[in-house]
Structure 1
Amino acid sequence: MPSFDIVSEVNMAEVENAVQNVTREISTRYDFKGSNSSVEVKDEGLTVLADDELKLKQVHEILRGNLSKRGIEPGQLDYGKEEKASGMSVRQRITVKEGIDKETAKKVVKAIKAEKLKVQVAIQGEELRVSGKKRDDLQAAMQFVKNMGLDQPVQFKNFRD
């Protein structure tokens, strides 16, 4: 029986490469000259340190651009609260979302069932397994999920015939 998995994954090696590019760009940009702005990769997320909120927003722009060049969508990032650090500087924690959470998974299952596609959907931890009798039904389900407009980007893997 043909099937595929709906997952939400991030290649952390690409995130680290993007962060290195951001660090390099910050060190060469004129508007960051003499500032104490940095981005670090720490367990399942990023920590952004900037002199003020304006510089923090500029670092966000640079980070988003470098991540999108590396194939990581902005929806994968979950920005935490801005907190005051030493002096006038600002720190922000950014978590990288991986896996489909329960509410999103239930929403996708309910929407596919409401669409009356001829497929079965099973929640398996942080991914969804979609199976059906025909390949065309699975491709219709893929297209439907793409057009749902979910907050978190999803990928389709393990397509088996």
Structure 2
Amino acid sequence: MPSFDIVSETDLNEVDNALAGMRREIEQRYDFKGSKCSIERKEGVLTLLADDDLKLRQMHDLLSTYLTRRKIDSGACDLGTPEKASGNSIRQTVTIKQGIAQDLGKKIVKELKSSKLKVQVSIQGDSLRVTGKKRDDLQDAIAFVKDLGIDQPLQYENFRD
């Protein structure tokens, strides 16, 4: 029976490459001279450290630009709330989304079942398995999920006949 998987994975190596480019630009830009702005990654969490709100917003723009250059959807980043850090600086955590959360998976399953497409959907950990009798039904399911407007980047893989 034909099937495919819906997953949400972010390549952390590409994220590291984007962060390296971002660090280089922060070192070279005139408006960042003398500032203590930095960005670090531990596991799937980025930590932005900026002198003030303006520099933090500029770092958001840089992060978005460099991730896009590396073909990573900026929707894969979940911005936390900025908080005060030592020395009048601002710290913000950015979580990189990996996998489909349980509530989002249930929403996609519910929408696919209510769409009257002839497919079956099952949640398998942090991914979804979609099966159907015809290849065309699976392609319709992919188009339907893309039209849902989910803010998290999704990939469709393991398409099997």
The two structures have a TM-score, normalised by structure 1, of 0.98
Q: Give me the whole-angstrom Cα distance separating, in 2, the residues matched to 1:32 and 1:84.
A: 19
Instruction: Quote the residue 1:31 is aligned against.
Output: 31
Deviation at 1:153, TM superposition (A): 1.4
Identity of aligned residues (%): 58
Corresponding residue pairs, total: 161
Where 2:9 maps in the other structure, the secondary structure is coil
Deviation at 1:84, TM superposition (A): 0.9
Q: Residues 43-65 of structure 1: CA distance to partner in whole angstroms, max 9, x if unpaired?
A: 21100011101000000100100
Q: Residues 48-87 of structure 1: CA distance to partner in whole angstroms, max 9, x if unpaired?
A: 0111010000001001000011111111111111111111
Instruction: Quote the residue 1:144 is aligned against.
Output: 144
* Superposition map of 1:3-152 within 5 A: 3-152=3-152
Amino acid at match of 1:72: I
Q: CA RMSD in A?
A: 0.7
Q: Give me the whole-angstrom Cα distance separating, in 2, the residues matched to 1:105 and 1:87.
A: 42
* Unmatched segments (≥5 aa) in structure 1: none
* Unmatched segments (≥5 aa) in structure 2: none
Deviation at 1:151, TM superposition (A): 2.2
Q: Give me the whole-angstrom Cα distance separating, in 2, the residues matched to 1:73 and 1:87.
A: 33
Amino acid at match of 2:37: S
Q: Give me the whole-angstrom Cα distance separating, in 2, the residues matched to 1:41 and 1:102.
A: 25
Q: Give me the whole-angstrom Cα distance separating, in 1, the residues matched to 2:22 and 2:39.
A: 7
